[in-house]
């Protein structure tokens, strides 16, 4: 296996095992404008892909699985801002809203193995905690406006995060049986992302630390779907307002659109994203150069 090191002063703790070819993705949801958190993610995604060799690919996936919140004008703005920043994807973009037949086939596979059941619980009834399995043995009819869940076993999932090191999660304790499709017919983020990563042969998922808790359940779901080898994962730092407070839209100065309108250059926006992440100016120059195509 070939190994390569990320630049010396970066936050990564370990060399990255480099599958041939490396396939990663940038996968924004068109539910708002591009902000500095996306920019940091894009820097990681494109830098790692470009540094890993000429055959590495960055796929662009529009995660518009939530039909109520996704808007074409946000998608258009995301694409335009990405281009302005200098991030060019490899190949055609994909939209989750156009992949329903693939998700349906993946669901059918789980159903055929007796792993799914209908769930009539509302989000309000469940709250934000673990789903306790209320509908597991109710044998409800899927067609009556019910959601669909997949049964998770009590397995412990272990994975080696490329930045954070060895991790252990027990999804059945963390979240309970996973919602695959909600009561309104929307495919869930967890399901659509896992199916897409599998079908698109994504072998490195690069995303923010706020999604670290989702990883064990995604690895388990991928295995239930039949994926032999789960992708590798790298969870990067989030942009912080202070050591304990995550930067949010309400803090202002985070939207790429707003910064552009105020005359910022692409380099300055990339600089801002990396400095908020605690990375050095030298890294910024290196990254900026790396992410630009001739």
Q: Long-range contact list for 182-185, CB < 8 A, 24+ apart?
A: 182/147, 183/120, 183/122, 183/145, 183/146, 183/147, 184/68
CB of 123 to Zn ion, least distance (A): 11
Q: What's the sign of the alpha-carbon dihedral 61, 65, 70, 72?
A: positive
Q: At what angle do helices 215-225 and 189-199 cross, to 10 degrees?
A: 60
CB of 134 to Zn ion, least distance (A): 4
Specify the length of the chain in residues. Answer: 294
CB of 126 to Zn ion, least distance (A): 7
N- to C-terminal Cα distance for the chain?
30
* Closest to Zn ion by CB, 120 or 237: 120
Q: Which of residues 215-254 bind Zn ion (CB under 5 A)?
A: none
Q: Which of residues 120-159 bind Zn ion (CB under 5 A)?
A: 121, 134-135
Which listed residue (119, 195, 225, 266) binds Zn ion by CB under 5 A?
119
* Closest to Zn ion by CB, 89 or 180: 180
d(C-alpha 109, C-alpha 14), whole Å: 36
For 250-288, letters b (16+ CB in 10 Å) and e give eeeebbbeebbeeebebeebbbbbbebbebeeebbebbb
Number of residues counted as binding Zn ion (CB under 5 A): 4
* Closest to Zn ion by CB, 145 or 278: 145
CB of 258 to Zn ion, least distance (A): 41
* Closest to Zn ion by CB, 134 or 200: 134
* Closest to Zn ion by CB, 119 or 284: 119
CB of 143 to Zn ion, least distance (A): 16
For 153-176, letters b (16+ CB in 10 Å) and e give eeeebebebbbbeebebbbbeebb
CB of 110 to Zn ion, least distance (A): 17
Q: Which of 146, 182, 145 is nearest to 66 (CA)?
A: 182
* Binding range to Zn ion, per CB under 5 A, among 64-72, 115-123, 229-237, 246-254: 115-123
Q: How many CB atoms lie within 10 A of CB 82?
A: 21
d(C-alpha 50, C-alpha 249), whole Å: 29
CB of 210 to Zn ion, least distance (A): 26
* Closest to Zn ion by CB, 134 or 275: 134
* Closest to Zn ion by CB, 135 or 222: 135
> Which residues contact Zn ion (rule: CB under 5 A)?
119, 121, 134-135
């Amino acid at each position: 296996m070939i190994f390569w090191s990320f630049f010396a002063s970066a936050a990564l703790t370990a060399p990255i095992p480099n599958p041939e070819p490396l396939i990663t993705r940038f996968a924004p949801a068109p539910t708002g404008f591009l902000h500095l958190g996306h920019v940091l993610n894009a820097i990681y995604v494109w830098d790692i892909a470009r540094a890993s060799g000429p055959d590495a690919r960055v796929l662009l996936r529009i995660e518009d699985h939530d039909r109520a919140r996704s808007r074409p004008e946000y998608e258009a703005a995301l694409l335009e801002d990405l281009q302005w920043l200098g991030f060019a994807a490899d190949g055609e973009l994909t939209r989750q809203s156009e992949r329903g037949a693939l998700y349906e086939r993946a669901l059918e596979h789980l159903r055929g193995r007796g792993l799914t059941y209908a769930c009539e619980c509302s989000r309000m009834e469940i709250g934000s905690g673990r789903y306790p399995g209320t509908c597991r043995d109710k044998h409800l009819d899927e067609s009556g406006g019910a959601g669909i869940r997949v049964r998770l076993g009590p397995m412990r999932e272990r994975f080696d995060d490329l930045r954070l090191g060895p991790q252990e999660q027990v999804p059945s304790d963390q979240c309970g049986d996973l919602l695959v499709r909600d009561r309104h017919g929307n495919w869930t983020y967890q399901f659509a992302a896992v199916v897409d990563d599998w079908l698109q042969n994504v072998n490195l998922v690069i995303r923010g630390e706020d999604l670290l808790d989702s990883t064990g359940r995604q690895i388990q779901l991928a295995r239930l779907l039949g994926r032999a080898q789960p992708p590798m994962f790298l969870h990067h730092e989030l942009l912080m307002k202070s050591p304990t407070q995550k930067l949010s839209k309400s803090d202002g100065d985070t939207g790429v659109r707003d910064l552009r309108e105020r005359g910022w250059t692409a380099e300055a926006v990339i600089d801002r994203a990396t400095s908020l992440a605690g990375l050095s100016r030298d890294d910024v120059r290196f990254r900026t150069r790396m992410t630009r195509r001739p």
